[in-house]
Structure 1
Amino acid sequence: MFKALVMLMSLAATSTTAAQASRNEVDVKLVLAVDVSRSMDYEEMRIQREGYVEAIKHREFINAVRNGLTGRIAISYFEWAGFAMPESAIDWQVIETEQDAIDFANKLEERPLNFQRRTSISSAIAEGAAMIVSSPYRGSREVIDVSGDGTNNSGNPVAPARDKAVEAGIVINGLALMLRPSGAPGGLDKYYADCVIGGPGSFVLPVHKIEDFAIAVRRKLVLEISGLVPPATVHKVALGRPAVDCMVGERQWQDLFDR
């Protein structure tokens, strides 16, 4: 009798563990890393924030989540400039239903808009990778979604940070805000393609007009969640040696003090 009771308890515990493991399975672990450097004015910051909120609430986003293998993703968010800003972070949340997406978007919408100096894409990548590693969820894909409007000019060099994350199995995609000249040879999208993004199927979407931001974010999220191959109009990760000087931002910043 006692042995039978122990076996039943063991089976129940195993079943509970399996159920918990199943609940921790998601199609994608996605970190949204958003640039809030002072190169953007308040109006651009506001439209950027509204673009993310609108994209996460949109039907296309919800449908992309539902059409996955598990029908669930885990998503988190933080803002960065010269460093990653921990007070801006929204912790991991599973999105499975439309209400889940609305709840996450509402949390984002309530965040105050803050600016910071400098641009450290390397810090954003490092923070995103740390969040993915420490996440309680398991996803078949792990993605850092970096949006920014300038080249790396603070912290560690960006290419080694990118390479380290990619070696850990993380895909980095980019949204290049090309609202004004960035100083990157060939354009900021070219810099992102050669120096920032990486991993299988990685890509960068350029945004030339701030009013196009919401559509670009939604398009990017759908591609990331669905694991679709981006169209030819989207810059895919460059093969071989980068054609762009990945230290261009650091050199430009140094030149300001050498004159």
Structure 2
Amino acid sequence: MRHFILALLLAAPVSAQEIETDLELVLLADASGSIDADELLFQRQSYATAITDPAVVSAIENTLYGSIAVTYVEWAATQATVVDWTLIADMESATAFAEALIGPPRQASGRNAIGAALLYGKDQIESNDINGFRRVIDFSGDTMANSFGPPITVARDQVVAAGITINALPILRNTQWQTDDLPAAYEVNIIGGPNAFVMPARSGPEFTDAVRRKLILEIAGTTPQSDYASLLLQTLQISQ
């Protein structure tokens, strides 16, 4: 019943009272030309699997407000929202988000516009009716190419200046960006804000596991390097 009431509040018009929650989280997923249809679906399935993991749901339920707000956005030359803001407070609302994520067709395509994607994530946070205790953009991608829009670091600085943290999940594969270079490039150019971190992963099961661990840390508001993170992940039985 609680999540149903919260969902009704989330659907209320702009003039309604703001919804209070622990975290506003933009899942900003790569849908550029280097991501084929199978990989796009796999990314969505990975996030759907992660958001419905009992450990992730438990972490949400144990936040200060007992809920988080999440939206899923795909980025490429343009950006598009796949699943709009959803308040997740329990397994039922997490499952509803996961099911909504799998159905829609590809929403973005073309070359890369990382800077524009970061600013789109910022706009999604600033234009909703939600007041999150923390605000985070969860960026994933397999490149540092930025063919269109503002420079990456300029966009990153604008996002961070607005009080939004950017975390990054570099997808490691055989591209012009070698596997050792991409995490370092994301560290320097993309992440920023309190407790920002990079969590690299290869495609396949490692990617799904990294998404799950990343969500746990973002919900808890900590980093992979902290002692609390190690304890948290061990307690929740998630391998690092």
State the partner residue of 1:113: 106
Structure 2 residue corresponding to 1:93, chosen from 61, 86, 89: 86
Structure 1 residue 115, shift from structure 2 partner? 5.6
Contact 2:82 2:104 in 1 (8 A): no
State the partner residue of 1:180: 174
2:139 is the counterpart of 1:146? yes
1-structure distance, mates of 2:219, 2:198: 15
Contact 2:142 2:171 in 1 (8 A): yes
Q: Deviations over 1:82-110 (max 9, x none)?
A: 1212xx43211111111010001110011
Q: Which amino acid aligns with 2:104?
A: R
Q: Deviations over 1:158-185 (max 9, x none)?
A: 0010001101100000010012234369
Structure 1 residue 41, shift from structure 2 partner? 2.6
Gap runs ≥5 in structure 2: 1-15, 227-240
1-structure distance, mates of 2:136, 2:72: 12
2-structure distance, mates of 1:167, 1:33: 19
1-structure distance, mates of 2:41, 2:88: 24
Structure 2 residue corresponding to 1:223, chosen from 213, 217, 221: 217
Structure 1 residue 156, shift from structure 2 partner? 1.2
State the partner residue of 2:238: none
2:35 is the counterpart of 1:29? no
Gap runs ≥5 in structure 1: 1-19, 233-259
Q: Deviations over 1:18-74 (max 9, x none)?
A: xx75x7110000011111111123332222121011111111110110110011111
Could you say which structure has the larger radius of gyration?
Answer: 1
Structure 1 residue 210, shift from structure 2 partner? 2.6
State the partner residue of 1:196: 190
TM-score of the aligned structures, taking structure 1 as reference length: 0.76
Structure 1 residue corresponding to 2:127, chosen from 123, 134, 153: 134
**How many pairs are equivalent?**
210
1-structure distance, mates of 2:37, 2:154: 32
Contact 1:47 1:211 in 2 (8 A): no
State the partner residue of 2:35: 40
2-structure distance, mates of 1:44, 1:106: 18
Structure 1 residue 152, shift from structure 2 partner? 3.2
Q: Which has a greater percent of helix? A: 1
Structure 1 residues 168, 40: CA separation in 2 closer, same or farther (over 3 Å shift)?
Answer: same
**Please, what is the CA RMSD of the aligned residues?**
1.8
Runs of 4+ aligned structure 1 residues displaced above 3 Å come to none
Contact 1:185 1:191 in 2 (8 A): no
TM-score of the aligned structures, taking structure 2 as reference length: 0.82
Structure 1 residues 200, 182: CA separation in 2 closer, same or farther (over 3 Å shift)?
Answer: farther
2-structure distance, mates of 1:106, 1:133: 26
Contact 2:115 2:150 in 1 (8 A): yes
State the partner residue of 1:211: 205
% same residue: 39
Structure 2 residue corresponding to 1:169, chosen from 151, 163, 167: 163
Contact 1:81 1:119 in 2 (8 A): yes
